[in-house]
């Protein structure tokens, strides 16, 4: 059994004295794990930082075996943002969410393309909003996409302001007002009607986090990845500092 594919490194954990078990998101083969012999060596370990893009060859005697990786480094996005803790946290969060949310060995090319698009804007001012978009796309790829096109109660697309935490459908301001305490806020930037300021991005992360937890993590008794929690915490601290400085 052998194939070669473009892939992103999602996670790597030590195995034995000098090997790594590496989880990759491959363009046409989905999330896939394999063994890297000597992966803990000084020459190989940096290749398997989360978010790195590689050309990977997987080999195994039988398809159900763990198999081994042979990889060539194609890109190291973390090197471009090495001095930016928020962007590094976003990259780590995206890799961890993909690693823990995607089923193993199922093709999910749109998840790969979404991660590629997000990493492509990681060094821009819209990286945090793009991260929210990445998680929305991942939910859709997993079969739990949100319907933000029209109000679930009225069928119109005017003044959409909330999302039902049960159905994932948008609700207008007037229809949702009596139930606002039970609904999730819908950031306007997600429907192209506002800017993605810090508070709006945090609301977007709360929205996607609710549905990721409900559909991707809780059914498997997994918590939200710690890397994602750290990313949200960093954004919250930055938003608080910015708000304090402007008053």
The domain that holds 59 is classified in CATH as 2.40.50.140
Whether residue 143 is found in the same domain as residue 199: yes
At 21 the pLDDT is 97
Whether residue 130 is found in the same domain as residue 213: yes
At 245 the pLDDT is 62
Domain ends where: 75, 94, 120? Answer: 75
Whether residue 144 is found in the same domain as residue 200: yes
Q: How far apart are CA 69 and CA 189, in angstroms?
A: 40
At 244 the pLDDT is 63
Whether residue 209 is found in the same domain as residue 95: yes
In a domain, 63, yes or no: yes
What φ, ψ does residue 207 adopt, rounded to 5°? -65, -55
User: Could you tell me which residues come within 8 angstroms of residue 30 by beta carbon, excluding any fewer than 6 positions away?
Assistant: 102, 103, 104, 105, 106, 107, 108, 111
- Whether 93 and 73 have beta carbons less than 8 Å apart is answered as no
Q: How far apart are CA 161 and CA 81, in angstroms?
A: 34
Name the domain count of the chain: 2
At 109 the pLDDT is 95
**Above 60 in pLDDT, residue 234?**
yes
At 226 the pLDDT is 97
Whether residue 137 is found in the same domain as residue 195: yes
Give the residue, 159 or 158, on which the prediction is more confident: 159
Whether residue 121 is found in the same domain as residue 42: no
Whether residue 100 is found in the same domain as residue 209: yes
In a domain, 31, yes or no: yes
In a domain, 155, yes or no: no
Whether residue 14 is found in the same domain as residue 129: no
**Above 80 in pLDDT, residue 241?**
no
Of 75-79, 106-110, 194-198, the one with minimum mean pLDDT is 194-198
Domain residue limits at 234: 85-148+186-242
In a domain, 178, yes or no: no
pLDDT in tens, 82-92: 999 999 999 99
In a domain, 93, yes or no: yes
Domain ends where: 17, 45, 75? Answer: 75
At 184 the pLDDT is 97
At 233 the pLDDT is 97
Whether residue 200 is found in the same domain as residue 229: yes
- The mean pLDDT of 95-117, rounded to a whole number, is 97
pTM of the model: 0.94
* SS3 label, residue 145: coil
In a domain, 165, yes or no: no
In a domain, 179, yes or no: no
Q: How far apart are CA 170 and CA 187, in angstroms?
A: 11
pLDDT band at residue 242 under the 50/70/90 scheme: low
Residues comprising the chain, all counted: 247
Whether residue 70 is found in the same domain as residue 105: no
Whether residue 134 is found in the same domain as residue 202: yes
In a domain, 226, yes or no: yes
At 157 the pLDDT is 82
Whether residue 116 is found in the same domain as residue 31: no
**Above 70 in pLDDT, residue 190?**
yes
Beta-bridged to residue 185, according to DSSP, are 162
Domain ends where: 75, 93, 126? Answer: 75
């Amino acid at each position: 059994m052998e194939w070669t594919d473009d892939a992103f490194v999602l996670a790597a954990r030590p195995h034995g004295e000098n090997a790594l078990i590496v989880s990759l998101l491959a363009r046409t083969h989905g999330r896939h794990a394999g063994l890297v012999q000597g992966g803990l060596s000084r020459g190989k370990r940096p290749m398997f930082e989360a978010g790195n893009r590689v050309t990977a060859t997987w080999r195994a005697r039988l398809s159900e075996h763990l198999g081994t990786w042979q990889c060539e480094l194609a890109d190291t996005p973390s090197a471009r943002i090495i001095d930016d803790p928020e962007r590094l946290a976003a990259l780590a969060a995206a890799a961890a969410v993909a690693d823990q949310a995607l089923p193993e060995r199922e093709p999910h090319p749109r998840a790969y393309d979404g991660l590629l698009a997000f990493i492509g804007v990681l060094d821009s001012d819209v990286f945090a909003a793009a991260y929210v978009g990445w998680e929305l796309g991942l939910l859709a790829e997993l079969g739990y996409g949100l319907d933000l096109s029209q109000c679930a109660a009225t069928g119109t697309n005017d003044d959409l302001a909330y999302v039902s935490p049960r159905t994932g459908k948008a609700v207008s301001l007037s229809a949702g007002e009596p139930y606002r305490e039970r609904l999730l806020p819908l950031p306007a930037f997600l429907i192209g009607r506002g800017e993605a300021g810090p508070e709006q991005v945090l609301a977007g992360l709360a929205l996607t986090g609710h549905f990721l937890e409900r559909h991707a993590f809780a059914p498997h008794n997994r918590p939200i990845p710690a890397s994602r929690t750290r990313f949200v915490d960093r954004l919250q601290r930055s938003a608080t500092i910015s708000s304090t400085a402007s008053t």
